[in-house]
Structure 1
């Protein structure tokens, strides 16, 4: 089972590394990082670079497609090679998935038209713009599309998908291996519970 994880400049690392650590532990899984061009791809904090193992042209029929988000997603909303590749591999993929602002990229490529999807809270309007139906749920399945909300939700998305693909017991085993048992020190992890002051400072930080 090949999992193609897309890289592009200014991606958010946890968006793809969380799912990588989950899906890469499934029996028979091969995770391959792909990008439009060879060479290191730098993340949004500008201090981490990932080397893709293949270009988009070299990966033609992955079983699972995963695209994460990050500030660089805005530069990936226009048509081009990535959109063409996403539409091509989506025709044969078992699952096409996203984390955070990866969902607007799928939507901009025309893959989420009329479908329910989630993304980071700051980008829900982008889904509407491209014909998807936004929801604030943490993980959304619609057909063979699976979208996760912001950043850390990628782990939830990947574990839920792992259960669908390999069974609950295997997914639970992976959850134990990565010791995923969240006990956040603060209660500000969603728009529903964060204070107005925290929400405002987050909006300012995101630009």
Structure 2
């Protein structure tokens, strides 16, 4: 069972390293990191990533996982990247995403009429890719599994293990990585954060939300 993680300039590294860490610990699962080429890629947090495979030599995948990040608008506008996603997604058994990666899957035509989630600040854009928004850390609709923002990638990874290998294996991995979250502050969701804090963080995301909306509109106009 091979799980392939797509990476691109401006990817959020935790979107894929979180699920990669847990998925790679499950029995019978092989992982691969795939990019346009094998040149170093800078994540939106500054970490440099080198892929295992380029698009032209990527192996067949059972699971395609698309993370998000500030580079998603440019990724959507990249013909080579979108061609790869369409090809790999059509061949994969499972189509998956973390955070705003779902908008890449959606632009490739894989989310129409299907329930999905993403980072809370971008959730209202899901109808632009034909998805049915559902607010949850992980949403499964048939062979489509989407995770919420950034840290939800760990929840997503464990859910994916459960779907591929079984709940017992997923529980064992959860214990092995000591995933027992107890955050020091109860403000990880707009539902719990103080309204002034939510407003301030929402304002911080405004430019990124508009950039993604513009890329989605351009993609819809020139499919």
TM bucket normalised to smaller? over 0.9
**Whole-angstrom distance in 1 between the partners of 2:90 and 2:129:** 19
Paired residue for 1:113? 112
Deviation, structure 1 residue 161: 1.3
**Whole-angstrom distance in 1 between the partners of 2:110 and 2:80:** 15
**Does 2:182 align with 1:183?**
yes
Give aligned pairs, total.
206
Deviation, structure 1 residue 105: 1.0
Deviation, structure 1 residue 79: 5.9
Paired residue for 1:14? 14
How large is the RMSD of aligned CA atoms in angstroms? 1.3
Match of 1:71, SS state, is coil
Alignment of 1:1-207 (within 5 A): 1-46=1-46, 48-78=47-77, 80-206=79-205, 207=207
1:36–1:81 Cα contact (<8 Å) kept: yes
Deviation, structure 1 residue 125: 2.8
Structure 1 segments of 4+ aligned residues over 6 angstroms from their partners:
none
**Whole-angstrom distance in 1 between the partners of 2:122 and 2:75:** 14
Question: TM-score, normalized by length of structure 1?
Answer: 0.95
Question: TM-score, normalized by length of structure 2?
Answer: 0.88
Q: Alpha-carbon deviations, 1:47-99, whole Å to 9, x = none?
A: x1011011112125201111111111111223612222122122221211100
Where does structure 1 lack aligned partners over 5 or more consecutive residues? none
Match of 2:91, SS state, is coil
1:79–1:109 Cα contact (<8 Å) kept: no
Match of 1:4, SS state, is strand
1:78–1:108 Cα contact (<8 Å) kept: no
**Whole-angstrom distance in 2 between the partners of 1:45 and 1:158:** 21
**Whole-angstrom distance in 2 between the partners of 1:83 and 1:114:** 20
Where does structure 2 lack aligned partners over 5 or more consecutive residues? 208-223
**Whole-angstrom distance in 2 between the partners of 1:95 and 1:128:** 21
